[in-house]
Chains A and B, each alone.
Chain A
Amino acid sequence: MLKLENVTVAASNGDGEELEILNKINLSFETGKMYAITGPNGGGKSSLAKVIMGIYQPAEGRLYLDGKDITSTSITERALMGIGYAFQNPPRFKGLKVKDLLSIAASNRDHGNIERLLRVVGLCPRDYIDREADARLSGGEFKRLEIAMLLARNPRFVIYDEPEAGVDLWTFEQLLGVIAGRHKANASSTTVVITHNERFLRAADEIVLMAEGEVKERGSADAIWPMIEDDIACRWRTTCGGELDEAECYR
């Protein structure tokens, strides 16, 4: 189980002012469950993933993995403990090839496995294994590679940040199958999918709704769905200094 206790993350807004991008988050993710996190843009979903991965340090609060306090551990240590994160916007690497990144991710696995993983995410190994993982790969290709890298690591706590973004209509089903299938096949793994996609939301055991750096609701798809339909997120969106009143959300 991964648990966040009163986690607050502050960042500077560029004008020397600190703002809280996560505000006193209390959340626990149980082993074996699949979670979907959704909510309006800027609501704090990716920031939550980053604080779990160790990329952001909390100003307050603590994180526990299976009861162990991991608040002050590094990114590398968390990776080695089995936490994995597929970025929303993964960085490109000049001069590193697809196979280089996958071998780093797999660390000790063989080449055959890398080829299998590429096929799993819908990239033909023959065409991609020697391509450079730089700006020349397309957005969707890169997103698939990012997922293959996470699969290669095979972490027990895995976060996908909008895996559906940029993935074409024809292979969306396959992607959903890969993520949900991997989850089902590993009883001891916890899967968190940050998503704006209904299919992913419905595939999850539990949905967490985040807005304004806070967890606003959590529950089963059946419980949360009506609230989403209600455009609940709109009410939590900062209302432009009061100009946008709540009623407008329902028009």
Chain B
Amino acid sequence: MKLSAIDNTRQSRQLNPVDEQLLETIADLHGIPQGAYNIRKNGDLLSRMSSANIEIVSKQDKPGIDVIVKPGTKNESVHIPVLVTASGLHDLVYNTFDIGEGADVLIVAGCGIHNPGASVARHDGIHEFIVRKGAHIRYVEKHYGQGEGTGDRILNPRTIITLEEGASAEVELVQIRGIDSTNRVTEARVGASGRLIISERLLTHGAQHADSLITVELAGDNASAEVLARSVAQDRSKQVFRASLVGKARSRGHVACDSIIMDSAEISSLPELHALHAEAELTHEAAIGKIAGEQLIKLMTMGLTEKEAIDTILAGFLS
């Protein structure tokens, strides 16, 4: 069954082929998502489904939703894609996720922008997660932009994560091509025995600009965090990556940022460590470099052209 069929009560809000393609790119959705979902298009709700254990309700005071996951909910997922297909639209949304004790869920968010016109199409999303005692989430956020229009496609996501005692989160932030300007802020607070892994994948090209600031506070004993960022900057694009770990307890943290720089792009990579406790163990590694010539040559000896070899290396690096 196609996604357009789920909303047959509201014909005017059916998905068109552009929507379907964006959805597939940002959320790997080919049909109705399993479990709970909320699809937002051009600032309005397009379709929503709660499940027995996951409730989605609109916020009363501002645009956005509350997603409430019952304690102990396992192996369920929530899809909350956002589509922006109109030029001149500034969409702003606040989403709050309350993950009950001991739950284990997958949350897939994503924003696809198809800007057909000359004015800016912009989506600013604020996502707040409260992961309660012993709960686990995997949160995947994909950004993608396209459209024949000349208007900029802008995304400014802000993600706030609180991990209570023994809670854990795997956060995957992906933005491959198409977004002209992004200013991403990610803030996390990891409680005792909590565990956070943030991996970021970014590819900018043309005159794009991407700024990412990640701050992780290791607040409780045995808290741990890993920030693993990989990026590719092509053409004249610019990237600034800052990751700051603040160790306030007996904890461990590691930041690794690895970038490939091409053409006349610019990359700044700034890992920061702040130890406010004698038993905070914090490390970082950062590297920026060209594609290794040896890798290109090796792939060419296997019959690939130089262009195919570059594409293969970048796809692997960002996978």
Contact = CB atoms under 8 A, between A and B. Distances in A.
Interface of A: 53, 55, 74-76, 78-80, 84-85, 87, 90-91, 93-96, 100, 104-105, 107, 149, 153
B128 to A, nearest CB: 31
A76 B303 CA distance: 5
Contacts of A85: 301
Contacts of A80: 303
B297 interface: yes
Interface in B276-319: 292, 294-295, 297-306, 312-313, 315-319
B258 interface: yes
Contacts of A153: 302-303
B101 to A, nearest CB: 34
Contacts of A105: 302
A87 B302 contact: no
B319 A75 contact: no
A94 B229 CA distance: 13
Given A91-B292, A94-B258, A96-B312, A104 B301 contact: no
Contact of B304 (A78, A96, A104): A104
Contact of A91 (B230, B298, B306, B318): B298
A149 B303 CA distance: 12
Given A87-B298, A90-B298, A95 B304 contact: no
Given A93-B313, A94-B316, A94-B317, A55 B297 contact: yes
27 contacts: A55-B297, A74-B300, A75-B297, A76-B300, A76-B305, A79-B300, A79-B302, A79-B303, A80-B303, A84-B301, A85-B301, A87-B298, A91-B297, A91-B298, A93-B313, A93-B316, A94-B230, A94-B316, A95-B230, A95-B315, A95-B317, A96-B312, A100-B316, A104-B299, A104-B302, A105-B302, A149-B302
A75 B301 contact: yes
A78 B301 CA distance: 8
A94 B316 CA distance: 7
A158 to B, nearest CB: 11
A53 B319 contact: no
A55 to B, nearest CB: 6
A76 B319 contact: no
A107 B316 contact: no
A114 to B, nearest CB: 14
Contacts of B302: 79, 104-105, 107, 149, 153
B152 to A, nearest CB: 30
Contacts of A94: 230, 258, 316-317
Contacts of A93: 295, 313, 316
A93 B291 CA distance: 10
Interface string B258-288: 1000000000000000000000000000000
